[in-house]
Amino acid sequence: MPSSPLASVLFVCVHNAGRSQMAAGFLGRLAGDRVEVRSAGSLPGDRVNPSAVEAMREVGVDIADARPKILTPEAVQASDYVITMGCGDACPVFPGRKYLDWALEDPAGQGVEAVRPIRDAIRARVEALIAEIDAARGVAREA
């Protein structure tokens, strides 16, 4: 294990209540302390979407204690990767960051049945992101 994270990742969506929280939960679980994880929203909601919490609980990732946070320029500046999920032009851009836009359906107002495929798509993208970070930093992946 590295003594400091290989990279820092910021997940951003409008309310920071669904997609970005699920992505942060997966990255924290799958990458451990190899990657610093942040999430934020351009207009944060009051709480994390209960259907997102339940969908994540089904796969063993607990995001029940997560709280939506406001997107700040400092959070963007402190991140190597900024992954947007529908925050539009509200996300500040700083040189030297890698920006990715993940087009994912918004789980707001949907039941857990509708959130499951969104959750699974997020997990696949997070796994690919971890592989990219590891490859960029020269980390050997375990088989």
* From 27-36, 62-71, 92-101, the region with the lowest mean pLDDT: 92-101
Q: 7-136 belongs to which CATH class? A: alpha beta
Domain ranges (residues) in the chain: 7-136
The catalytic residues are 13, 87, 91
Local structure of residue 70 (DSSP, 8 states)? B
Alpha-carbon span 139 to 131, nearest angstrom: 9
Whose CA is closest to 20, among 35, 6, 45? 45
Contact present, 37 and 7 (Cβ < 8 Å): no
**133-140 average pLDDT score:** 80
pLDDT in tens, 84-134: 997 665 666 777 889 999 999 999 999 999 999 999 999 999 999 999 999
Mean of per-residue pLDDT scores for the chain: 90
**24-48 average pLDDT score:** 95
Local structure of residue 67 (DSSP, 8 states)? -
